[in-house]
Amino acid sequence: MNTHTLRIIATALSILVVANANAHETGPHESEKRLPPKSPLSGAQLAQANASQPKKPQEANTPRAATPFIQFSPLVKTRYDANYLYVESNAMPDHPMMVGITAWQQQVPIPQPYSGDNAWRIPLHPKPAENPLSAKSNFFRGAIALAANGVPIFNPIKNDGRTDTFLAGELDEYGGHGGRADDYHYHIAPLHLQETLGPSLPIAYALDGYPIYGLEEPDGSPVENLDRFNGHVGPDGDYHYHATKDYPYLNGGFHGEVAQRNGQVDPQPRAQGVRPYLRPLRGAAIVGWENPEPQSYSLEYTLNRKSHFINYTILPEGGVRFEFVDSSGKTTTETYDAKPARGNRGDRERQRGGDRNRSRADSEERARRAPDQNDPNRQPWITVHANEMDANFDGALTREELVAEVEKTLAGYDANSDGAIQFAEYEDGGGVRSALGGFVKQHAHELDANNDTSITRQELMALPLRMFQKADANSDGRVTPDEFAQMKSPTRKTEK
């Protein structure tokens, strides 16, 4: 371990001590602890403070929609044309991240290239939709709104269509977390932005172009008569949404026109990761966040009451160097290059082979780092999940039961119903909670036999069926507990 690491750990430890001291002082209830920090000022005070505080200057023609974003300049940049406000950011807000998460997918925030052609786009002339779409049944992928500080806001319900990310403990104290591409985003309204913006400015814009105000009307008065999407026509005659502390938390759908493609608002900027995504780390809780120097971050989490750290640095070329420090101080380092920019097909083709190898190397690396004796991946998948798939509970797994599981999983992931699972269909967390659901995400590259980033029904079926045939020693289409037990023995493994 070098001195730099030690310094990061020391700083992070001191912060933890302070954070704990505060927690004891205030002694928050569990439910309160999960709420974003409250403003010490009343709405009227905020309105006053906000009015007396001169807004950052802007040019005469600048659209009104730009005003909240301009308050976060230079972190956030805006430009516009006749139809759209374009908002550029790297989605790294000026507040601690990840602390408070108790259901963690092991992702961390890294800067995102939301600029140029990949900037956020807010319609300047929103139009009410003929058939407004609800976020209860649509838009489980990607952002539905953009916070004034340039951080995207995703559907509070994740892409299994059920789980409320806030209630599930997946969000930090500010309502955000790192996604599959290590892209930081919120899943609920960023109420903390009210402290900077006051009630008179929206804290976010929905991607249909309508503003999202905080818990009060722009004049500080109480909010009344919200529709099913948390919106209404304000005193100025214009439609707007409001944040709420309960579901839907922000716009619960789109009053305005948006295009939907592959389960998300389209077009929208794409996040860019540098490493294969990771899986949930059960029992981990993130307790510390530090930004000891520009481009360097340290995250502390506890697992089995012991502290672990992830220290990481964004490299000049956009790659990331990670140091994983376990509770005994043992450090593992991983360095990832920036992924090449999209649009160059030749690069992308060449990169694929590399990615594939790196994914394998990375999963081996992870297995080494966390040799969990209870890791279900230490046994054949089919053995571990046989009971879940045994639909008639007769103790044996039939071929039909296995096929039904495959079909169920396919239907769950296949948002655009084309009979295949595009990698994009499970990009942001979640996924299908089933025996095969998690397996698909962890082994996507193996399942995708022709390596086209899409898993067809046949590809999805192939591996489970191969395992089934292997387990079904007497080939009667039924794997009994005895046959599973045989499968586990080393002698059985050397056969075939």
What is the contact surface with Zn ion in residues (CB under 5 A)? Answer: 179, 217, 234, 429
Closer to Zn ion by Cβ: residue 427 or 448: 427
Closer to Zn ion by Cβ: residue 71 or 165: 165
Q: Which residue in 282, 276, 273 sits closest to 446, CA to CA? A: 276
Please enumerate in sequence order all residues whose Cβ is within 8 A of that of 369, keeping only pairs 6 or more positions apart, or say none. Answer: 324, 326, 332
Q: Which residue in 456, 445, 449, 463 sits closest to 381, CA to CA? A: 463
Q: Quote the least distance from Cβ 217 to Zn ion, whole Å.
A: 5
Closer to Zn ion by Cβ: residue 429 or 464: 429
CB atoms near residue 115 (< 10 Å): 15
DSSP 76: S
Q: Quote the least distance from Cβ 496 to Zn ion, whole Å.
A: 42
Number of H helices, E strands in the chain: 13, 24
Instruction: Quickly list DSSP for 468-495.
Output: HHHH-TT-SSEE-HHHHHHHHSHHHHH-
Q: Quote the least distance from Cβ 223 to Zn ion, whole Å.
A: 5
Q: Quote the least distance from Cβ 204 to Zn ion, whole Å.
A: 14
Closer to Zn ion by Cβ: residue 284 or 382: 284
Q: Which residue in 96, 112, 110 sits closest to 320, CA to CA? A: 110
Closer to Zn ion by Cβ: residue 273 or 429: 429
Cα–Cα dist 30/420, whole Å: 42
Q: Quote the least distance from Cβ 107 to Zn ion, whole Å.
A: 9
Helix, strand, or coil (residue 301) = strand
Closer to Zn ion by Cβ: residue 234 or 318: 234
Residue 383's alpha-carbon distances to 380, 389, 436, 472, 481, in angstroms, are 5, 10, 12, 11, 9
Closer to Zn ion by Cβ: residue 219 or 293: 219
Cα–Cα dist 193/146, whole Å: 12
Q: Quote the least distance from Cβ 454 to Zn ion, whole Å.
A: 22
The partner residues of 85 in beta bridges, in order of sequence, read 80, 122
Q: Quote the least distance from Cβ 257 to Zn ion, whole Å.
A: 21
Closer to Zn ion by Cβ: residue 211 or 412: 211
Cα–Cα dist 432/229, whole Å: 26
Closer to Zn ion by Cβ: residue 179 or 276: 179
* Chain position carrying tokens 């928050």: 28
Please enumerate in sequence order all residues whose Cβ is within 8 A of that of 238, keeping only pairs 6 or more positions apart, or say none. Answer: none
